[in-house]
A and B are shown apart, each in its own frame.
Chain A
Amino acid sequence: ETGVTQTPRHLVMGMTNKKSLKCEQHLGHNAMYWYKQSAKKPLELMFVYNFKEQTENNSVPSRFSPECPNSSHLFLHLHTLQPEDSALYLCASSQAGGNTIYFGEGSWLTVV
């Protein structure tokens, strides 16, 4: 059982749709992250939140919009995505300033 839960596990959406990915952590952490894992690229950090505040955005296109309402929840809002955005999106958490990051099981996104 993972301390970081992601829903949905699988999502298929059209390029004109708007959808959201949800992440919840039960570890008492105060930092949360979104990563993207594509088929032929290493894992890439997208966003970092510390104590609900976004502290890092790694040049992610605006069609990806994160939201962190509290330290336990993180969303990734998706709109007008491209087929190349199809990937596994992994959420993770840690203690702020900590050096060990714990991952969820990911949400498989397919853009058609």
Chain B
Amino acid sequence: AQTVTQSQPEMSVQEAETVTLSCTYDTSESDYYLFWYKQPPSRQMILVIRQEAYKQQNATENRFSVNFQKAAKSFSLKISDSQLGDAAMYFCAYRSYGGSQGNLIFGKGTKLSVKP
């Protein structure tokens, strides 16, 4: 069975600085998807970024980028120029390619605080 581990329960960053959130996963599959979701106090899970395992190029979305290391089974999220609105819970998630639809496997989350 696949597992997702986020080893940092809480992180803090100064506004305008850069922070990296860690995520590792365990799988025997070669094709899969990885996601980072943000959950602000409103509780809505918002998709931040998505990575297909077959793509070697790291995904980027504006100030958000990932460092995908397939061999190491690592999928970290880098937030550049942090803003107050980035404060939230961040969840790393895994989904098998062609697997059970909707069966996202989530980590326990990292709470990110942004200091002004």
Query: What residues of chain A have their CB less than 8 Å away from a CB belonging to chain B?
Result: 2, 31, 33, 42-43, 45, 48, 50, 55-56, 88, 90, 92, 94, 96-97, 99-106, 108
Contacts and interface: CB of A to CB of B under 8 A. Distances in A.
Interface of chain A: mostly helix, strand, loop or mixed: strand
B102 A92 contact: yes
B62 interface: no
Nearest to B45: A103
Interface size class of B (residues with CB under 8 A): 20 to 34
Contact of A56 (B46, B102, B108, B109): B102
A94 B102 contact: yes
B101 A50 contact: yes
10 contacts: A42-B106, A42-B107, A45-B103, A56-B102, A56-B103, A90-B43, A90-B45, A92-B45, A92-B102, A104-B44
Interface of B: 4, 33, 35, 37, 42-47, 50, 91, 93, 95, 97, 100-109
A99 B44 contact: no
User: Lowest 3 A-B CB distances belong to which pairs?
Assistant: A103-B45, A105-B44, A42-B106
Contact of A43 (B33, B47, B91, B95): B91
Nearest to B91: A43
A100 B104 CA distance: 10
